[in-house]
Structure 1
Amino acid sequence: MPPTKIPFITLNNKTKIPQLGFGTYLIPASKAHELIYKACKQGYRHFDTAAITKNEVEVSGGIVKFIKEEAKQTGSSFDEIRKQFYYTTKLWNDDCTSHEAATKGIDTCLQKAGELQYIDLLLIHSPLMGPKNRIATWSAMQDYDTSKVRSIGISNFGVKHIEQLLFWDGLKIKPVLNQIEISPWVMRQGIVDFCKKNEIALEAYSPLTHAKKLADPELVDIAKKNGISPTEVLLKWSVQKGFIPLPKSTSTEHMASNFNIFNHKLSEEDILKLSHPEAHQPTGWECTECD
């Protein structure tokens, strides 16, 4: 079990998601299976992958390996332990060209989830396929078997993209969350405020800025003041802002230390000092303003 109790956020469909996940972007398939298994042993229960990362089979396989071992050791059933895990994947743009294409894409994602049996959260990876195909894709997602795809959401969507979905007269299921890059240097306040107003949760990928800001003087000062690492400060900032951070780590030591964020709290002064709402310094993909 996790070394520290991880809080949950309740989504707008009343399901719950752990407020700390494990990102798998750029983890090669050759290493993903064992790394994810190790992350499970360290206490992670929330994993985020995608069709484009080409490691879905290995990520799900690492989780399954751990669940089977845990079931054997504890005498619990596979299904009982599976319920402790939260598995997210995403449809890539190539699968978002029509209702039929999206349905086939979901089928493929589900096949790659393997013995996990279902997907806890499926996201549209980006809005880049354009308005017509975004609607067609969402239509396929909300029509899919809800026992196989429990929740659906979006990623890298800006306000105008979300508005299109919310104002579509065929909408039956509202996105449960929007996964975007968020850090103190790319706070996206307009998107954040809009999502919160519409009860759409926010996941923060690249919460550690791909290590580009770990030597920032203000960040280092706050870390020293609190007796924690700059990495822990960034994750704690994200959690205290109400986001769901998705750090990635290949080190078991760092995996374990990430749980420390639930054992301390930053002051409001520290939060304000670290926040830069005027900045826009994404460290990765930026498509929230596309048509």
Structure 2
Amino acid sequence: MATNEAKGSLLSSTVTLSNSMTIPQIQLGLYMMSGREAKQSVHWALQAGYRGFDCAQVYRNEREAGNTIREFLCSDENTEGLRRADVFYTTKLASNSTSYAAVRRSVKNSVNASGLGYVDLFLLHSPYGGKDARLTSWKALEDAVGDGEVKMIGVSNYGVLHIEELMASNPRIKPVINQIEVHPFNTQTSIRHVCAEHNIMVEAYAPLVRAMRMKHPTVLELSKKYSRSPAQLLVKWSLQHGMVTLPKSTHRERLIENADIGSFEISQEDIRTMDALDEKLVTDWDPTDAQ
């Protein structure tokens, strides 16, 4: 099956991070997928041209995701001759800890579970646990980079104070990513601004608002105007704001549709209209104000 089935796909699009390394701008989110769903979705996504996959320890599908990537790379379906270095794999630490050794073990366990040899991007999944746990966990991630287990590191669900706290600690390795919930109904302007000040790329999870606003009148009106689905409109919004985006789907046709957005642009006027939809909508959890 040909890679990049979607005619207007942006799956080959990458962005350069502050460490001069690149990351796919559209990736498949694996949140709340069972092992079986993750295996099937990752396989379909690889066939369709996806090269980035966002996993986490708490998702309980690291093994299935990693095994599916490895199997694809070694299969006859890999007609492009893709190598491990051509696939970007992210996972996240379930719990920050004041025990450096516990975090290092946890990182090693994730690397081993994936079977991929290393993790491209390892994130602290949340700021929970307090300052000491956050900074100890960060030091453990820095050393995982030094030991070759991880290529780059970042954070997730970090609010303004958490970002400032980490940067004030003068980390040996600076975070390249802050993965947060971002969409027109929760624009996270203050967090995005502080990330920009520190050259931290924002990675948008739940860009489709977990389907909670697909029938919103403005979304439907603009979808009709651009002859695109609500999902395509929402993914395009995050890209035009310069973010990495993580649309999730367990349906093959929607995986392809979500990336088929290269042949249209939302006007700046309509971008502002979508920005104005902000209602601070949280679709799942919001640790950004944790102490």
Taking structure 2 as the reference length, what is the TM-score of the superposition? 0.94
Taking structure 1 as the reference length, what is the TM-score of the superposition? 0.94
Which structure dedicates a bigger proportion of its chain to helix? 1
After superposition, the Cα gap between the structure-2 partners of 1:73 and 1:218, relative to the gap in structure 1 and judged at 3 Å, is closer
Distance apart, 1:277 and its partner CA: 6.7
Q: Matches of 1:101 and 1:276 in 2, distance apart?
A: 44
Larger deviation, residues 36-45 vs 178-187? 36-45
Distance apart, 1:245 and its partner CA: 1.1
Which ranges of structure 2 fall in alignment gaps of 5 or more residues? none
Distance apart, 1:35 and its partner CA: 2.1
**Alignment match of 2:90 (pick from 88, 101, 106):** 88
Q: Which runs of 4+ in 1 moved over 4 A?
A: 70-74
Q: Matches of 1:31 and 1:158 in 2, distance apart?
A: 31
CA contact (8 A) 1:71 1:81 kept: no
CA contact (8 A) 2:163 2:194 kept: no
Distance apart, 1:30 and its partner CA: 2.7
Distance apart, 1:56 and its partner CA: 0.3
CA contact (8 A) 2:72 2:78 kept: no
Distance apart, 1:71 and its partner CA: 7.6
Tell me the equivalent position of 1:257. Answer: 257
Tell me the equivalent position of 2:149. Answer: 148
Secondary structure of residue in 2 paired with 1:193: helix
Q: Matches of 1:143 and 1:181 in 2, distance apart?
A: 28
The answer on 1:244 being equivalent to 2:207 is no
The answer on 1:37 being equivalent to 2:37 is no
CA contact (8 A) 2:52 2:87 kept: yes
After superposition, the Cα gap between the structure-2 partners of 1:128 and 1:35, relative to the gap in structure 1 and judged at 3 Å, is same
Tell me the equivalent position of 1:69. Answer: 75
Paired AA for residue 241 in structure 1: H
> 1:94-243 maps to which residues of 2 (within 5 A)?
96-114=97-115, 116-146=116-146, 147-169=148-170, 171-243=171-243
Q: Matches of 2:281 and 2:207 in 1, distance apart?
A: 12
Distance apart, 1:72 and its partner CA: 6.6
Q: Matches of 1:149 and 1:159 in 2, distance apart?
A: 25
Q: How big is each residue's C-alpha offset from its partner over 1:113-159, in whole Å with a ceiling of 9 and x where there is no partner? A: 20x21100000000011100100000111012443200000000001
Q: How big is each residue's C-alpha offset from its partner over 1:224-258, in whole Å with a ceiling of 9 and x where there is no partner? A: 00000010000000000111110111111111111
CA contact (8 A) 1:33 1:58 kept: yes
Q: Matches of 1:227 and 1:276 in 2, distance apart?
A: 21
Q: Matches of 1:273 and 1:173 in 2, distance apart?
A: 38
Distance apart, 1:32 and its partner CA: 1.7
Q: Matches of 2:270 and 2:277 in 1, distance apart?
A: 14
Distance apart, 1:278 and its partner CA: 5.1
CA contact (8 A) 1:37 1:65 kept: no
Q: How big is each residue's C-alpha offset from its partner over 1:187-219, in whole Å with a ceiling of 9 and x where there is no partner? A: 110000010111000000000011000000001
Q: Matches of 1:258 and 1:252 in 2, distance apart?
A: 10
Secondary structure of residue in 2 paired with 1:199: coil
CA contact (8 A) 2:118 2:149 kept: yes
CA contact (8 A) 2:28 2:246 kept: yes
Q: Matches of 1:278 and 1:21 in 2, distance apart?
A: 24
Secondary structure of residue in 2 paired with 1:150: strand
Tell me the equivalent position of 1:57. Answer: 63
Tell me the equivalent position of 1:24. Answer: 30
The RMSD of aligned alpha carbons is 1.5
Identity of matched residues, %: 35
Secondary structure of residue in 2 paired with 1:69: coil
